[in-house]
Amino acid sequence: MTNDWARRISQFEAAQVRHADDPLPGQAAFRYRPGTRPVLISAPHGAYHWRQDYWKRPDGYTAALAHVLAEDTGAHALYTVRRIRPDPNFEDDSEYKRMLARLLRQRHIRLVLDLHGASPEREFALALGTMDGQSCPNYEAIIIQTFREQAFAPDHNHALDRLAVNPLHFKGGTLQHTVTRFVWEQCRVNAAQVELNAYLRVVRSDAVNTSTFAPDPIRQRRAITALINIIMTV
């Protein structure tokens, strides 16, 4: 990834993602960026999403991150740019998942990385959810090792260097109809949910509603490098 990754992510988010706006007439709430590698990066929470009778806040910068990762690696990307109903990470009857299933068949995808955002208070830098190993049998070990190579490890003492593997509430779909669960159970394609702490995801401090938050560009670079290397191994 080029050295201007933070600028590119910030500019894409500002120019292309309308978090609280409805889709334009005749258009979907999500966007597909075609690629050449057999990997698809998903970001279903790039904008507000409707779940259980209310609009949930977006996982900021996940749409922009998916786009920039795809741009730099040749992966495919599917991400929301306007608010979406229903939440595609909670209900299977969604146009997002129907589009995803078509892409997996047509593009011969081998791995889906489903990006999400965690709050800065979480006790991990990244959480890898594979439904306790079920959803990503071919790549889970490679993913963990690649994060380790960028100094993110399950046993790290510092929370912002910790890779949590299938922690409670972040297992990728054992309790709800997530994208990861749908891809594995319905499409039989390897899938992993990747939750990024806000410190590793948010490139502008004013995007988080707390006066104490400041982005961590060094850890962001390490996380992005790991994601690129994971994509390039497939």
Residue 60 reports pLDDT greater than 70: yes
Find the mean pLDDT for residues 109-137.
97
Using CA atoms, how far residue 19 sits from 48, 60, 61, in Å, is 6, 9, 10
Residue 55 reports pLDDT greater than 60: yes
Architecture of domain 5-233: 3-Layer(aba) Sandwich (3.40)
Q: Taking a C-beta distance cutoff of 8 angstroms, is the pair 42, 100 a contact?
A: yes
* Six-digit token string for 51: 């779940």
Find the mean pLDDT for residues 123-132.
98
pLDDT band at residue 204, thresholds of 50, 70 and 90? confident
Residue 208 reports pLDDT greater than 60: no
Domain ranges of the chain: 5-233
Residue 141 reports pLDDT greater than 80: yes
Write down the pLDDT at residue 175.
87
In tens, the pLDDT along 185-196 reads 999 999 999 999
Annotate the chain with three-state secondary structure: CCCCHHHHHHHHHHHHCECCCCCCCCCCCEEEECCCCCEEEEECCCCCEEECCEEECCCCCHHHHHHHHHHHHCCEEEEECECECCCCCCCCCCHHHHHHHHHHHHCCCCEEEEEEEECCCCCCCEEEECCCCCCCCCCHHHHHHHHHHCCCECCCCCHHHEEEECCCCCCCCCCCCCHHHHHHHHHCCEEEEEEEEHHHCCCCHHHCCCCCCCCCHHHHHHHHHHHHHHHHHC
pLDDT band at residue 163, thresholds of 50, 70 and 90? very high
Write down the pLDDT at residue 206.
65
Write down the pLDDT at residue 138.
98
Residue 119 reports pLDDT greater than 60: yes
Find the mean pLDDT for residues 124-135.
98
Quote the percentage of the chain above a pLDDT of 90. Answer: 92
Phi, psi for 196 (deg, rounded to 5): -110, 125
Write down the pLDDT at residue 211.
56
Lowest-confidence region among 3-7, 16-20, 120-124? 3-7
Residue 10 reports pLDDT greater than 60: yes
In tens, the pLDDT along 17-27 reads 999 999 999 99
Find the mean pLDDT for residues 84-97.
96
Residue 209 reports pLDDT greater than 90: no
Looking at every residue in the chain, the average pLDDT score rounds to 95
In tens, the pLDDT along 212-233 reads 688 999 999 999 999 999 999 9
Find the mean pLDDT for residues 115-120.
96
